[in-house]
Amino acid sequence: MKHSQAAERYAKAALSLAYEQGSGAVFAQQVNDLLATLNGSEALVAYLHNPTVEQATKQQAVAAVAPQSHQIMQGLWSALAQNKRMDLLAEVLTAYERLDAEKNKIAQATVVSAAPLTDAVVNTLKDKLAQAVQKTIALDAQVDTSLIGGFIVKVDDLAYDASVAHQLSQLKEQLTQVNNR
């Protein structure tokens, strides 16, 4: 996802302030919670993007869905409202999460397997990935039975496909090339 420069600046300012005040972990959790709320509410996002709604009203709407927010979060809403940028809120929060993960050397990883993985396998996979990328791994495990067997792992911009479906696809491609000669 491309981040606007404005969203990046707001996110960097919030990150700097949160860590200066020793509130990095608390603020990161509130960012995560509010972003989940925004991602789950198309109506709220549309409201924030509506040019006919006053910025202060948008700010009040966000405050209503996150009433116990940290003063840094409230300051972020205020700055966005004053600068007529409340429509950037989700983008700012997404940029914040990315910057916070970079600061804390956390890599988001996804493993998709044909069957559910045991906790032991997940922990081993996290350890191996952490060694490979030299970061702490936040792992999201998913199941996709169409893989037939094996798994697909994605970490940051890297992907490794060890699924049976992928291997069969490669075999089919090789056989097609041989038959076309």
Digit-by-digit pLDDT tens for the chain (181 residues) are: 455 899 999 999 999 999 999 999 999 999 999 999 999 999 999 999 999 999 999 999 999 999 899 999 999 999 999 999 999 999 999 999 999 999 999 998 999 998 999 999 999 999 999 998 899 999 999 999 888 888 899 998 788 888 888 788 888 888 888 777 7
b/e code 155-167 from CB counts within 10 Å (16+ = b): beeeeebebebbe
**Tens digit of pLDDT for each residue in 124-145?**
999 999 998 899 999 999 999 8
Q: Which residues contact 118 (CB under 8 A, 6 or more apart)?
A: none
Q: Which two tokens stand for residue 53?
A: 């709604």
CB 72 within 8 A of CB 17: yes
CB 111 within 8 A of CB 117: yes
CB 78 within 8 A of CB 105: no
Annotated domain spans of the chain:
5-102, 106-179
Residue type, 62: V
Q: Is the pTM value of this prediction over 0.75? A: no
CATH T-level assignment (fold) for domain 5-102 = Peroxidase; domain 1 (1.10.520)
Report the SS3 class of residue 127: helix
CA 54 centroid distance within chain: 29
